Amino acid sequence: MADEFPFEISPMFEGERVRKDGMYVELAGPKSKGFELVKSVGMDEIEDGKFTLIGPDISEMEEGSRHPIAMIYRIAGELVEQDLEAIVERRNHDFQNYIQGVMHLNQRYDIWIRVSKDAMKKGLDSLEQIAKATMMLFKNELPFIEKIEATYITDMSEVEKELDGAIATYTARDERTRNLHDEDVDVFYGCTLCQSFAPTNVCVVTPDRISLCGAINWFDGRAAAKVDPEGPQFAIEKGEIIDAKGGEYSGVNDLAKSLSNGEYDRIKIHSFFEFPHTSCGCFEVVGFYIPEVDGIGWVDRDFMGTAPNGLPFSTMAGQTGGGKQVVGFLGIGINYFRSPKFIEVDGGWNRVVWMPKLLKDKVLADIPKDIVDKVATEEDASDLESLKAFLKEKDHPILERWVEEEEEDEAVEETATAAPTMQMPMMAAGTPMAMPAGSGGSGVKIILKNAKVSIDRVIIKKSE
């Protein structure tokens, strides 16, 4: 059946990148609009394999142009239920990356797709080919799908019309976990889907922590594990509680050790600094420690500027991803901001000092009333000096930590011992540490693991 397509289909193309100069068209992405959505329907409501396109096809798009895209799949089957929609939807990312010459990034309303010039030359000139190949993979890999049909939309006004409904669906999914908490369940769910590019990443999805891609919540994990227990989503028995506040459980640790091939053996689900959750690269938001104020900033994919530490999202994402525990950076899904256990062990919202305005607006209703005006955005602080001034002016609770640290420093000075002006929070021994550029770091021990350091020349100069 795959012979009908003018491209190869294989998981080996998953890591393929389509760069700007090799791209024929770009669909959705940060400079346009788009989304992907899966809806479950009754068996008699759809026609298996049907494809509908609303708007121009690839053959009608100019080379190098950019277009919106909505990809809507409707699925049916005896075992298909609403809880499976998010899990199926997340696989659109994998399956489209199996297609040679197609690059699919991110999820939900953040999707970003490119089709390469080479693929176009070989005959990939219609979205119907992509849709049919993707539907074939959905049915092959997820046999509980008995019928599937796809509607792709590339007309901007039609995409915009459907986008609100899609966002309402994502929101309704996320809302389901609101009244369920980690202590209410005996089982969490794991996901290793992203190990294809981040081999040691294990996502732990709990009622109080959505996956870092933001696409899989506890209910979604449960539905996926039920229908395909050998698949990439699976149950994790919690086991013994080791640290209730940090979110450490013996069952999670055991599994983390085996699934990361021993790379790490402890995970604290709600900790930023100590044995943090791994970050694969699909995270919606990156958290970054700002040692100068002893606070944590957060930046999402949509923010195009630089954070107060002078770094854009892309640079910090590069430091964070890869499936490691990187102390100082943490990838999360946006819905984790709404969790009552949000980095609880590190101070929760009282530790948050900066986030982009659009991101802050998205989660505004969930920020505690007493802190909401004290979290700076790019409109209040664009660098470390303006951030410090803002936090002081607003009497942010982080100031209490500054006082404690100053007192500690004074005590240390009295004992005539050299000490750093700002202590790093406690971290696991042997954990790689990533420091933002220009952050000083006096007194910090940096351990490079699995690193190759090559030096062409060493010049030794007498100091002036």
Which chain residues interact with ligand SF4 by CB under 6 A?
A: 90, 191-194, 201, 203, 211-213, 215-216, 280, 282
The rounded distance, in Å, linking the Cα atoms of 155 and 140 is: 30
- Least Å distance, CB 15 to ligand SF4, is 14
Give the bridge partners for 53, in sequence order.
152
- When the beta carbons of 115 and 215 are compared against ligand SF4, the nearer one is 215
Residues 6+ apart with CB under 8 A from 32: 26, 66, 67, 68
- When the beta carbons of 97 and 192 are compared against ligand SF4, the nearer one is 192
Q: Which of helix, strand or coil describes residue 341?
A: coil
- When the beta carbons of 163 and 210 are compared against ligand SF4, the nearer one is 210
Angle (CA) 263 268 272, round 5° = 100
- Least Å distance, CB 213 to ligand SF4, is 3
- Least Å distance, CB 125 to ligand SF4, is 30
Torsion of CA 339, 330, 246, 402, to 10 degrees: -100
Asked whether the beta carbons of 313 and 286 are under 8 A apart, the reply is yes
DSSP 439-464: ---TT-----SS-----S--------
- When the beta carbons of 25 and 282 are compared against ligand SF4, the nearer one is 282
The rounded distance, in Å, linking the Cα atoms of 372 and 306 is: 21
- Least Å distance, CB 194 to ligand SF4, is 3
- Least Å distance, CB 451 to ligand SF4, is 24
- When the beta carbons of 75 and 282 are compared against ligand SF4, the nearer one is 282
- When the beta carbons of 119 and 215 are compared against ligand SF4, the nearer one is 215
Asked whether the beta carbons of 330 and 276 are under 8 A apart, the reply is yes
DSSP 105-127: ES-GGG-EEEEEHHHHHTT---H
- When the beta carbons of 107 and 350 are compared against ligand SF4, the nearer one is 107
Residues 6+ apart with CB under 8 A from 25: 58, 61, 63, 64, 65, 66, 67, 114, 115
Give the bridge partners for 300, in sequence order.
285
- When the beta carbons of 195 and 423 are compared against ligand SF4, the nearer one is 195
Asked whether the beta carbons of 305 and 312 are under 8 A apart, the reply is yes
- Least Å distance, CB 119 to ligand SF4, is 25
- Least Å distance, CB 326 to ligand SF4, is 15
- Least Å distance, CB 104 to ligand SF4, is 13
- Least Å distance, CB 264 to ligand SF4, is 15
- When the beta carbons of 138 and 354 are compared against ligand SF4, the nearer one is 138
Helices (runs of H) and strands (runs of E) counted in the chain = 10, 17
Distance of CA 28 to the CA centre of its chain: 18
- When the beta carbons of 129 and 278 are compared against ligand SF4, the nearer one is 278
Burial class (CB in 10 A: 0-12, 13-18, 19+), 97: buried
- Least Å distance, CB 210 to ligand SF4, is 9
Distance of CA 106 to the CA centre of its chain: 8
For 364, the token pair is 């505004």
The rounded distance, in Å, linking the Cα atoms of 55 and 69 is: 9
Amino acid at the residue 311? L
The rounded distance, in Å, linking the Cα atoms of 239 and 253 is: 9
- When the beta carbons of 74 and 90 are compared against ligand SF4, the nearer one is 90
Burial class (CB in 10 A: 0-12, 13-18, 19+), 226: middle
- When the beta carbons of 342 and 390 are compared against ligand SF4, the nearer one is 342
- Least Å distance, CB 368 to ligand SF4, is 27
- Least Å distance, CB 103 to ligand SF4, is 17
